[in-house]
Chains A and B, each alone.
Chain A
């Protein structure tokens, strides 16, 4: 099971990075979403894999899943939604403002910013 999960995370990261390396905003957003998945799950597994044990207090429970990474990841999921939303909006704004959705600056833009 560990191997399955590890390979899935690796694949998610690969796909996410590959999409982030594209030159248009939309793939970058999707890539970021994939990487968020991978990161969230990675933080989650730092509590090690546990199946069938509750993170709920119960004197009769045989054991517990590690609740700490779960709490961290819960807020991380919500925050990454907020971050995705901001980036989507920035991409949309850039597209409407400039008429194209390229990520990289072209030479003309660059000349205007560094000189």
Chain B
């Protein structure tokens, strides 16, 4: 459980920042950080076992039929990466707290960050490649959100899009690769796959799988030729760059190569693809980094270069090289994250990160200078820092590796890469901090507060500690991780001095010397660089993507030209065509079911329905008349339900009909009363043809359905048999609603509540100041008002009806479990009784006597229903298991008490609240148009001497 919890914690934590931001930025950061710290702690608890060489596992079956299991395992490699992700994540959370400005939405930032963190932890702990792929895609998505965090910056949006396109496309390739791999082995569990090296490498599908998986890794880890997205992703806030682009996301590709190393590595294909791509990336990116003036761009290309270095080492396919790769992953994470954060501090304080405008910050920002220098020297590979140790080992490995028949090119190019690395590292220090103090910084720089430099300082200390005592500080972790990568027991020997005759020493010396020389001649080289034409990755990328974007835009525009009538016609014809095809090609039995004889009453109902429907089509321009016809139709539908043995439906239909027609009448009050003639006769004929085809289809399908028996046994029998013994009620429909399918009903009342709230929100938006509100204020009714808007007869009658109607509601509610009725119908009946009061005496008068907020009624309904469901937990049974008992209270007969009734009460309240809120919203619009508000229940009251003439005198008519 613990491993799944580690992966789940960041996701759960992602919910908190949005809430906690209301308590202030410190609280928000503290809560976010503590979630990460907790996950780190859980990881730490598992560490001793892993370091002993055990593999910790958590297995949860998810969808076993697909081979998809939520299996997690933790070995040395997972421990290393999870530690990096959570540890550096913690530092980033601290750093971001001080980095983000007041105007940046911090809660959002932390939410994205936690999502990303969870996805990364998920990748490194997954023991199922399908699960891993899900997390992999999640990192692409969450990093898209993080890179585009500054939505107002076009670079941010474009960079995010580019990153998503490249890594997303790679991810798709990888899915295919992983599927092939899973197919070869016959299992999607990593622990099984990793045992089957021979099987995989002997398969014909090895090469396709390798290439597809490597596409995923290379895009993610920004390897040549997919390296171009990373520098563009630097438009992200610096904490994101430090986290995603130094320590975590870009290392996901490396992680996967390391993870798959035991089964994929060791073949010539692996060597030539991986080692070559890594080598090319390392040298090329290091060269570009030297010529970047933007601090973050310099670091971005340097990251690409170092990722190339690690890729190359993994590509060598030897245990020693893989060990060095693991060691360099640790070192690179420490110094590069520190460098990014330092660059962020410089940017934050000096308001620029352009090297041409910087220099001389050494005395102004001594703390930042110290941190950045330590980290940059490590990046350059200067002894005794940790970067030196892994670089020496790397050069040694490169020296001993031949590329094809050529024994020295690998070593030479590796040295050149290291040489560039020295040059840009020194340039980073020299051009930012050294040199004379300038007086034209955009902002007077000084060291930031402790909170901001604490995180990079901690990393710089690590750089030194690992550098000085590599065996004590890091060898245990390197051994554990490298053993996990290679599947052999690795005991790394990391020393500063390999002897005078070690080739790496002289390669290092050459690199440092050459690097310093390059820096010396930087100005002239820069001029040369600027004069040479070179391909611009963004332009190429845009040129490739643009045709696709244009194509999809053309298709979209052609299909969606803004005319809904067109969409509906297209959709209708498509559906009919698909259904027809399905019917023609599918198999179906002949219609042998006995037909029901026609009797006179239903035939009359049918006639009424046909007449009303045709009349609607002919007279639909007269809107009021249309509503009357709709009322007839509703009544006939209710009759249909009643005739065909569905009393519950008939009751529901008839009460819904009343509410719906009232609603449409209220709306029609504001809408035009006539529909103008707009379509030409051919157009109408065409529309009729489209509608007619669909109608014929529906009629044919209905007839076919009704004349055939069930192809399989209906599950209705189960419900009929168990309604009474299991649900305690004899009204099977109601028992299904509140018991068998109570969960569905619960969802449905929530939907209904949301619909009512949407209507309320729409009304609020209309009534807020704006053109709609102005138009309402200047509203001129287009019809004459009634003389007596609140007739006494109606008022008195509705008052008399109210208690009766309420009692009917209670009656229908109570009997619902056993006879037709229930919460839905009772809610509608009571709503109608209340609406009648509104109609009789006006909205404002009635509203004043209404003591409960409709929102509260909806909420109470949903909460009561939920509480009933949760109540089952107390009894130790699953959610929404109902219970019932029979009670005898003298002098009553024995009656039943069921928890389902409480659930039904929730349904009742939600329906009531939703209907009332909807109609009340419409009434509020009416009041805004200047409808007079009455203070009396009715306008004409002979007992008080108020007459029609008084109304005229007051001008209320």
Contact = CB atoms under 8 A, between A and B. Distances in A.
Contact of A75 (B645, B748, B758, B915): B748
Contact of A37 (B633, B701, B820): B633
Nearest to B623: A26
Contacts of A78: 652, 656, 748, 752, 824, 828, 911
Contacts of B741: 71
A44 B648 CA distance: 12
Given A13-B698, A33-B630, A49-B596, A57 B614 contact: no
A44 to B, nearest CB: 7
Interface in A1-51: 1-30, 33-34, 37-38, 40-42, 44-51
A56 B637 contact: no
Given A10-B698, A14-B694, A57-B720, A110 B562 contact: yes
A54 B765 CA distance: 48
Interface stretch (B263-271, B669-677, B786-794): B669-677
A100 to B, nearest CB: 9
A89 B723 CA distance: 39
Interface string B818-841: 111000100010000000000000
Contacts of A28: 564
Contacts of A18: 617, 687-688, 691
A67 B641 CA distance: 12
Contact of A74 (B698, B706, B737, B751): B737
A56 to B, nearest CB: 5
Given A3-B703, A49-B644, A104-B562, A57 B733 contact: no
B610 interface: yes
Contacts of B675: 22, 24, 26-27
Contacts of B748: 75, 78-79
Contacts of B318: none
B568 A57 contact: no
Interface in B899-957: 911, 914-915, 918, 921-922, 925
Contacts of A67: 716, 719-720, 723, 732-733, 736
Contact of A8 (B606, B641, B759, B911): B606
A41 B637 contact: yes
Contacts of A11: 609-610, 613-614, 695, 699
A1 B595 contact: yes
Contacts of A30: 616, 620, 626-627, 630, 664
B202 interface: no
Contacts of A41: 637, 640
Nearest to B668: A26
Contacts of B922: 89, 92
A40 B824 contact: no
B593 A48 contact: yes
B596 A93 contact: no
Interface stretch (B71-79, B170-178, B770-778, B876-884): B770-778
B671 A25 contact: yes
Nearest to B593: A48
A75 B744 contact: yes
Interface stretch (B16-24, B421-429, B597-605): B597-605
Contacts of A86: 755, 758-759, 762
A99 B660 CA distance: 24
A25 B692 CA distance: 21
Nearest to A29: B664
Interface in B840-860: none
B832 to A, nearest CB: 12
A44 B737 CA distance: 15
B608 to A, nearest CB: 10
B756 to A, nearest CB: 7
B700 A6 contact: yes
B762 A90 contact: yes
Contacts of B872: none
Contacts of B736: 67-68, 71
Contacts of B561: 110
Interface string B648-680: 110011001001100110011011100110110
Given A30-B630, A96-B775, A42 B649 contact: no
B716 A68 contact: yes
B706 A2 contact: yes
B667 A1 contact: no
B679 A22 contact: yes
B699 A70 contact: no
A96 B719 contact: no
B577 to A, nearest CB: 15
Contacts of A101: 671-672
Contact of A52 (B645, B690, B715): B645
Contacts of A90: 762
Contact of A65 (B572, B646, B707, B819): B646
A113 B671 CA distance: 26
B613 A95 contact: no
B823 to A, nearest CB: 10
B696 A10 contact: yes
A45 B643 CA distance: 12
Interface in B204-260: none
Contact of B698 (A38, A47, A77, A97): A38
B569 interface: yes
Interface in A58-88: 58, 64-68, 70-71, 73-75, 77-79, 81-86, 88
Interface in B66-86: none
A85 B921 CA distance: 11
Contacts of A14: 617, 688, 691-692, 694-696
A23 B755 contact: no
B772 A96 contact: yes
Nearest to A109: B562
Contacts of A107: 562
Which of A15, A33, A83 has the most chain B CB atoms inside 10 A of its CB?
A15
Which of A29, A37, A55 has the most chain B CB atoms inside 10 A of its CB?
A55
B606 A4 contact: yes
Contacts of B733: 55, 67, 70-71, 74
A9 B694 CA distance: 11
A82 B754 CA distance: 9
Contacts of B406: none
Which of B645, B700, B918 has the most chain A CB atoms inside 10 A of its CB?
B645
A66 B614 CA distance: 31
A111 to B, nearest CB: 10
Contact of A82 (B630, B755, B818): B755
A21 B346 CA distance: 62
B479 interface: no
A81 B759 CA distance: 13
Contacts of A16: 691
Contact of A6 (B706, B744, B818): B706
B543 interface: no
A110 B562 CA distance: 6
A107 B563 CA distance: 10
Nearest to B921: A89
B592 interface: no
A85 B755 contact: yes
B312 to A, nearest CB: 47
A50 B699 contact: no
A3 B595 CA distance: 9
A95 B673 CA distance: 13
A92 B667 CA distance: 7
Given A44-B641, A81-B659, A88-B663, 17 more contacts: A6-B699, A7-B699, A9-B699, A11-B695, A17-B690, A23-B679, A30-B627, A34-B630, A50-B644, A65-B645, A67-B716, A67-B723, A70-B646, A81-B660, A82-B752, A84-B660, A96-B772
Which are the 6 A-B pairs with shortest beta-carbon distances? A10-B699, A14-B695, A105-B562, A17-B691, A65-B645, A82-B755
18 contacts: A5-B706, A7-B610, A8-B610, A11-B695, A19-B620, A30-B616, A48-B710, A51-B596, A56-B730, A68-B715, A74-B649, A74-B652, A77-B656, A81-B659, A82-B751, A84-B660, A97-B775, A103-B565
